[in-house]
Chain A
Amino acid sequence: MADAIRTPELHLSEGCLSPAGDWTLLALGSHANRLRQELAAAKANRWDLSALTRLDSFGALLLWRAWGGRLPADMVLPDGYATQFERLAAMDEAPVPHPPRVGVVDVVAGLGGALLGLFAHLGDFLALIGRLALDCLHLLGRPRNWPLKEFSANLYKVGVKAMPVSALVGFLIGVVLSYLSALQLKAFGADIFIVNILGLGIIRELGPVLVSVLVAGRSGSAMTAQLGVMRVTEEVDALTVMGISNYIRLVLPKVMALSVAMPLLVLWTSAVALVGGMMSAELQLGLSYGYFIETLPKVVPAANLFIALGKGAVFGVLIALVACHFGLRVKPNTESLSANTTASVVTSITLVILVDAVFAIATRSIGVPL
């Protein structure tokens, strides 16, 4: 094979232009600009292609354009190259249409589309909840059909496996919170109130929200990505064709798992955070562990614990539903997969904080010692 690349050239002799060497994309690399200029400047109207050693469609295109889109009348064209130019002629008949330009109207339409998209999201989200509810009703009389295996697998994935990271984060937050509060409380000589602050703050508020953010980032994104890839690879469609409800097999186990795992994780994380706070309080303020543990139930009414567990369950259901909603909307391309995964995490964290505010207002008179 003619392995070495022969430099493409354009020779002019006695009014006859003859391209020589390899006119291929690879060979033209750094010569393309020079040859484009030479071709543009060339005046002769006789052509001889017999000195070409290789011609690919890029080389042919350069020549074709120099000829103004037709074969010159007076030329030597070796047999093998004729089809190249026939193809170029065919291509000229069928140019690729330019993508439409974006105008003002399109921008306005885009805005409107975004707003309608929001309603579509709401509608789809409600439809998801409705479908899930209907499927659950359907399952009521059929205990054998409950997706228990998937439930337990999901419970392990979103619950047990999240324990180390949530403990670490909880512990550190507990330490930091306790340390900072202790500095302030010391100044007022109100050392013992550290138990009230930590107890109420962590159990009622921080625990559930912290765990939700962690779980949304960790498990919510994973759920969306999983469902999304299943959409891309048509696995969801395969399930549908088998007559198996996507909602029962894919959505329900995730919702069930998170609604069970979240309260437990909240409990676990809050406990570890309190331990962190307690250790920090002992170091900083010299508050003994015994005193801390003894005082905690007195200053934090048990109602707070139930509020925290309730919040955990609600947030868990929310995160799972949002994750599945976005997962099932993924279109079969990578861009949509990444967009929906991002949207899933952002939406679920935002929703959790919104709902937490609603909780705060609704339960403002419960469990707060005055």
Chain B
Amino acid sequence: MTTPVLSLRGLSTRFGSNWVHKGVDLDIPPGEVVSLVGGSGSGKTTLLRQMVGLLTPTEGEVRVFDEPLFAGSREAQRQRRRRFAMCFQGGALFSAFTVYENIAFPLREAGIATEAEIRELVALKLTMVELLPSHAALMPAELSGGMIKRVALARALALEPELLLLDEPTAGLDPTRSASFVALIRDLQQQLGLTVVLVTHDLDTLAALSSKVAVLAERRILAFDSLEAVMQVDHPFIQEFFLSERSARALARAQGA
């Protein structure tokens, strides 16, 4: 059996007296695209933040690439961090930098590519997320919501991560852009064996992209399996989420495509 890229062990989270997660177990094998679904406020963002170490779980452990997140020397931790990237729900672009500088920043910090190469890599990342070269000079405050999402994705892709965590990447994108986002992630996934965890409410994206679906409800992972198998699970939330008329239409669309 392959070792999971990311695994959560008995993870519990408490804010004040409010338990958001209780005993979350999740093993994400390499090369999978896992969609994390759950009601609004069920703690999906919180779970992602714990996966990247921004938040320490109240109980339990997070392991990435088969090591505890905070194991090893500073340098070892830095190396580990370079292997995964996160795309935040609100973009989290550096507001004092232009789009170009935002994407170039992690590359410059890595200190491998030359300035001329960085220019081309930034241009490449911009075309990958379907932004125009002329957008490079804009400040984050001058972007639309969907553009912010795409710049954030470009920045997350800058260091060629092996594990990509995306918090609602297609929220605010028009349907065409969502479709090309799906194509892009698929492509990267095939070429680089990228592992992706994405939080999404967008059933089209979910159906088209995910190889597995994890359902977060009742403070734990209710189901973690392929979409078809998850849809068979008899639970009110899952039935509501996937089998409502709206969902059925979206899923049928994805099947037809």
A residues adjacent to B (C-beta < 8 A): 1-3, 24-26, 28-29, 32, 54-58, 61-62, 65, 80-81, 83-84, 87-88, 90-91, 94-97, 99, 232, 331-336
Contacts and interface: CB of A to CB of B under 8 A. Distances in A.
Interface size class of B (residues with CB under 8 A): 35 or more
B2 interface: yes
A2 B192 CA distance: 11
B82 A26 contact: yes
A58 B121 contact: yes
Nearest to A62: B117
Nearest to A100: B137
B143 to A, nearest CB: 11
Contacts of A83: 187, 191
B124 A61 contact: yes
A1 B193 contact: yes
25 contacts: A1-B3, A3-B66, A26-B82, A29-B112, A56-B191, A57-B124, A57-B160, A58-B112, A58-B113, A58-B160, A61-B117, A61-B121, A83-B187, A83-B191, A84-B191, A88-B124, A90-B127, A91-B123, A91-B126, A95-B133, A96-B100, A96-B126, A97-B134, A332-B141, A334-B95
Given A61-B124, A87-B124, 8 more contacts: A1-B2, A32-B113, A56-B160, A57-B125, A57-B128, A91-B120, A99-B137, A334-B96
Nearest to B110: A25
B83 to A, nearest CB: 7
A25 B109 CA distance: 12
Contacts of A84: 191
Contacts of B119: 95-96
B43 interface: no
A94 B133 contact: yes
Given A28-B112, A94-B127, A54 B193 contact: yes
B191 A25 contact: no
Given A95-B133, A96-B133, A232 B95 contact: yes
A81 B160 CA distance: 15
A62 B112 CA distance: 12
Contacts of B122: 96
B171 interface: no
Interface in B84-106: 94-96, 100
Given A96-B100, A332-B95, A26 B160 contact: yes
Interface in B53-101: 65-66, 82-83, 94-96, 100
Contacts of B117: 58, 61-62, 65
B127 A32 contact: no
B182 to A, nearest CB: 14
Contacts of B121: 57-58, 61
B221 interface: no
A84 B128 CA distance: 10
B146 interface: no
Contacts of A334: 94-96
A333 B137 contact: no
B26 interface: no
Contacts of A95: 119-120, 123, 133
A23 to B, nearest CB: 10
B84 to A, nearest CB: 11
Most chain A CB atoms below 10 A, which of B127, B140, B187: B127
Interface in B178-200: 187, 190-193
B95 A32 contact: no
Contact of B192 (A56, A87, A99, A335): A56
Contacts of A3: 3, 65-66
Contacts of A87: 124, 127-128
Contact of B5 (A1, A55, A99, A336): A1
A90 B128 CA distance: 9
Contacts of A29: 112
A88 B110 CA distance: 21
A24 B158 CA distance: 12
B132 interface: yes
Contacts of A335: 95-96
Contacts of A2: 193
Contact of A81 (B31, B100, B113, B191): B191
A330 to B, nearest CB: 11
A203 B160 CA distance: 66
A208 B82 CA distance: 54
B95 A333 contact: yes
A153 B141 CA distance: 32
A88 B94 CA distance: 26
B52 interface: no
Interface centre among A1, A84, A88, A95 (most CB of B within 10 A): A1
B137 A97 contact: yes
| Max count, chain A CB within 10 A of own CB: residue among B82, B96, B187 | B96
Contacts of B110: 25
A262 to B, nearest CB: 34
A90 B141 CA distance: 27
Contacts of B126: 91, 94, 96
A83 to B, nearest CB: 6
B68 to A, nearest CB: 16
Interface string B132-148: 11101101110000000
A5 to B, nearest CB: 10
Contacts of A336: 96
A232 B140 CA distance: 11
Contacts of A54: 192-193
Contacts of B222: none
A351 to B, nearest CB: 27
A61 B95 contact: no
